[in-house]
């Protein structure tokens, strides 16, 4: 399984167009997993009422690219029950994962290989 790790510095990601750019990058690298550091996501991504997260994630799922959000999202989940439920449900699946750190990601990947 080839993984594309985004650099933690760079423009914030917040649109379907940004998601499609990630798909293109992943295909260009023959990667099946894209890891996005928390610092690269626009804060509105974690406000589910904006629908940014849903639209963003759906693009990657449609192209069968696994998305991993890496970092501590507890500041967001502590204030949003719906986000907490969304993260829990996503982590039960195989397409979108929220992990606190790289070690957790590697542990998770080991379970599916």
Q: Is 42 exposed, middle or buried (0-12, 13-18, 19+ CB in 10 A)?
A: middle
pLDDT of amino acid 64: 94
In the predicted structure, residue 21 carries a pLDDT above the cut 90: yes
In the predicted structure, residue 54 carries a pLDDT above the cut 70: yes
Query: What does the pLDDT average to over 44-72?
Result: 95
Place 91 in a pLDDT band, splitting at 50, 70 and 90.
very high
66 DSSP β-pair partners? 33
In the predicted structure, residue 113 carries a pLDDT above the cut 80: no
pLDDT of amino acid 79: 95
Query: What does the pLDDT average to over 68-92?
Result: 96
Instruction: Write down the domain spans for the chain.
Output: 3-110
d(CA 8, CA 49): 25
pLDDT of amino acid 109: 84
- Residue 13 to residues 63, 78, 89, 113, Cα–Cα distance (Å): 18, 22, 22, 29
Question: If DSSP codes are grouped into helix, strand and coil, which group holds residue 80?
Answer: coil
More confident residue, 94 or 112: 94
Length of the chain: 113
pLDDT of amino acid 111: 81
In the predicted structure, residue 68 carries a pLDDT above the cut 80: yes
């Amino acid at each position: 399984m080839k993984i594309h790790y985004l650099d933690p510095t760079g423009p914030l990601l917040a649109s379907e167009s940004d998601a499609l750019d990630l798909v293109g990058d992943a295909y260009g690298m023959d990667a099946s997993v894209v890891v996005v550091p928390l610092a690269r996501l626009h804060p509105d991504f974690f406000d589910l009422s904006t629908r940014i997260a849903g639209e963003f994630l759906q693009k990657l799922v449609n192209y069968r690219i696994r998305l991993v959000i890496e970092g501590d999202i507890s500041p967001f989940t502590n204030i949003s029950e719906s986000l907490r439920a969304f993260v829990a449900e996503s982590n039960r699946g195989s397409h979108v994962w929220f992990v606190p750190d790289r070690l957790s990601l590697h542990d998770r990947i080991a379970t599916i290989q």
